[in-house]
Amino acid sequence: MEALGHKLGGWYNLAREAGQVEGRWVALPWFYTAMPITYREDLYQQQGLAPPKTWEEWRDTGKKIKDTSGHKSGFALSQTEDANITLYAILWSYGASTVDTERRVTINAPQTRQALDYVKDLYESCMTNEVLSWDDSSNNQAFLGGSYAWVHNAVGIYYIAREKVPDIFRVTNHTLTPTGPAGQHGTAIPFNYGIWKFAEEKTLAKQFLQYLMEPKRLEENFYATLTVNIPPVKASEHFQWERDPKTAMLKEYAATAHMIGWPAPSDRKAEQARAEWIVPNMFTYYATGKKSLEEAVLWGEGELQRIYKAKA
C-alpha cells in the first residue's frame, strides 16, 4: 500500500482514515464520493445572489428564494445515511464533534448547541416536514423534480440530470461543503477493497487491485462518472478537472474531508454511533420540538457514552 501510494503521488489522510486500523492497512481505498452543495444557479442569478460560502449564507439565501419563488432548500433530517454525512459536517464546521482524539465523548459543548440552533432555524425557514421521512434517494428526486434551490448531496444528481432531466442539468452547479465558525469540513463516502485472510487466490487478488489502481484507469473512471468517483490519491490533482467547471472545485474536497468519528479513528464505536443514527436523531429531536436544546444534547451525550464506554 505504501509503495502504491508513492506511485500515485501519496495518499490523502482521508485514505488512511478509511483503510487503516491502528496504522495498519486493512483495505485499499479505491475512490471516495464528495458531498458538495448542489444548487440551482438560475434561481440564484434571478435573485442577484452569488453562490454562498458559509452555512449561514446558504440558509439566508435559501430563505430569500423560498419566500420569493417557493423553492425549498435543505437535506434529510431522518434515519438515512445522507443525514449522517451532512450533520457530522455541520458539527465539525461549528467546532463540535462526537468525541475527541482520545475517544472521550465531547458532544455536550456550546459549539454543538450552536450547530443545533442553526439546523433548527434552517428547518423552520427553508424546509418542510417531508425531509423527516427522506431516504438517500429523496433529495435527488426533490432536486430533479425542480422544487429545490439547493441540497447537500453527492454529484450523482448532476450525473442523473444529464441523462434524465436536461433542463435541470443545464442550471445545476456545485460548491464545496460550506464553512462554519470552525472552518470547512466535509464528510467523505469511501469505497474500499480488501482481501480476506481465507481467500484462496490472494496473489491474483492483489494483482487485480494493482490493475484497478493504474493511474490511467483511475483517471478514465473519474471522467466517466463526472467526478462521482474520486481517487483518494494526490495524483488526482493532475486530472483535467477543468473539463467541467461545475465540478472542478471538488479537486479541493479531500483536503478537508473526514471519516465519521473524526477526530478519533473511524472504528467500530464510531460506526455503531453512525448506524444507530445518534447525530441525526439529536438534530431532528430539537429541530422538530420533540426535545428542548438541553434535552437533545443530553440525550445525544448519553447515547454516545453508552457506546464509547462499553467494552470493545
Sign of the alpha-carbon dihedral angle for 90, 91, 92, 93: positive
Claim to verify: residue 237 and residue 196 sit in the same structural domain: yes
Claim to verify: residue 222 and residue 242 sit in the same structural domain: yes
Number of structural domains, the chain? Answer: 2
Claim to verify: residue 93 and residue 23 sit in the same structural domain: no
How would you class 143 by CB atoms within 10 Å of its CB: exposed for 0-12, middle for 13-18, buried for 19 or more?
buried
Q: How confident is the model at residue 201 (pLDDT cuts 50, 70, 90)?
A: very high
Claim to verify: residue 42 and residue 129 sit in the same structural domain: yes
The pLDDT of residue 156 is above 80: yes
- The residue ranking higher by pLDDT, 299 or 22, is 299
3-state SS, 246-299, equals CCHHHHHHHHHEECCCCCCCCCHHHHHHHHCCHHHHHHHHHHCCCCCHHHHHHH
Q: What is the pLDDT of residue 104?
A: 97
CA 184 to chain centre: 12
Q: What is the pLDDT of residue 189?
A: 85
% of the chain surpassing 70 pLDDT: 100
Claim to verify: residue 179 and residue 199 sit in the same structural domain: no
Q: How confident is the model at residue 37 (pLDDT cuts 50, 70, 90)?
A: very high
Which H or E run contains 103? Answer: none
Claim to verify: residue 145 and residue 48 sit in the same structural domain: yes
Q: How confident is the model at residue 145 (pLDDT cuts 50, 70, 90)?
A: very high
- Please state the rounded mean pLDDT for residues 70-96: 97
% of the chain surpassing 90 pLDDT: 94
Rounded to whole angstroms, the Cα distance separating 42 from 219 reads 31
Mean pLDDT, the chain, whole residue set? 95
The pLDDT of residue 177 is above 90: yes
Rounded to whole angstroms, the Cα distance separating 201 from 204 reads 5
Claim to verify: residue 87 and residue 174 sit in the same structural domain: yes
Rounded to whole angstroms, the Cα distance separating 29 from 234 reads 13
Contact 247, 227 (CB under 8 A): yes
Q: What is the pLDDT of residue 55?
A: 98
Cβ neighbours of 15 (radius 10 Å): 28
Claim to verify: residue 7 and residue 114 sit in the same structural domain: no
CA 196 to chain centre: 28
Q: What is the pLDDT of residue 22?
A: 87
Claim to verify: residue 97 and residue 224 sit in the same structural domain: no
The pLDDT of residue 53 is above 80: yes
Question: Residue written as cell 429523496?
Answer: 138
For the stretch 105-118, pLDDT in tens is 999 999 999 999 99
Q: Which three cell numbers stand for residue 64?
A: 430569500
Claim to verify: residue 76 and residue 134 sit in the same structural domain: yes
Rounded to whole angstroms, the Cα distance separating 169 from 160 reads 8
Q: Which domain holds residue 13?
A: 2-33+188-258
Claim to verify: residue 168 and residue 277 sit in the same structural domain: yes
Q: What is the pLDDT of residue 134?
A: 97
For the stretch 242-276, pLDDT in tens is 999 999 999 999 999 999 999 999 999 999 999 99
CA dist 288 to 123, 152, 157, 233, 281, Å?
8, 20, 27, 41, 10
- Please state the rounded mean pLDDT for residues 77-83: 97
Claim to verify: residue 68 and residue 17 sit in the same structural domain: no
Q: Tell me the CATH number at 181.
A: 3.40.190.10
Q: How confident is the model at residue 312 (pLDDT cuts 50, 70, 90)?
A: low
The pLDDT of residue 311 is above 80: no
For the stretch 207-249, pLDDT in tens is 999 999 999 999 999 998 888 899 999 999 999 999 999 999 9
Q: What is the pLDDT of residue 310?
A: 86
Sign of the alpha-carbon dihedral angle for 148, 150, 156, 159: positive
